[in-house]
Amino acid sequence: MDLNELNTTETPNTFTTLAKILQDVGGISTDGVTPESRFSDDLAISSLNYIELIVNVEDTFGVRIEDSDAKDFTTVQDLIDFINTNKAA
């Protein structure tokens, strides 16, 4: 499925939405993103893009990510777990 053509009546899951944010922020093909992808090693996210990613995640999912938490995210799954645990109901 092309993420640019998501049906707005669907509620995309956290992974799909996060992959789209990574595409927008880092120009990363959504096909290359897996839950096991590491931000710096596999996806080559720069520190500036990582900050932009965190801000977009906060805005999109309604979560607050403290700097101390952001430093702990190594993989996409780490961030997904945080979002799913902390997103607004």
Type of residue numbered 53: L
pLDDT > 60? residue 7: no
pLDDT > 70? residue 60: yes
Q: Is the pTM of this model over 0.85?
A: no
CA angle 57, 61, 67 (to 5 degrees): 45
- pLDDT tens for residues 9-26? 344 699 999 999 999 999
The percent of residues above 90 in pLDDT, for the chain, comes to 83
pLDDT > 60? residue 2: no
**Average pLDDT for residues 70-82, to the nearest whole number?**
96
Class of domain 11-86 as given by CATH: mainly alpha
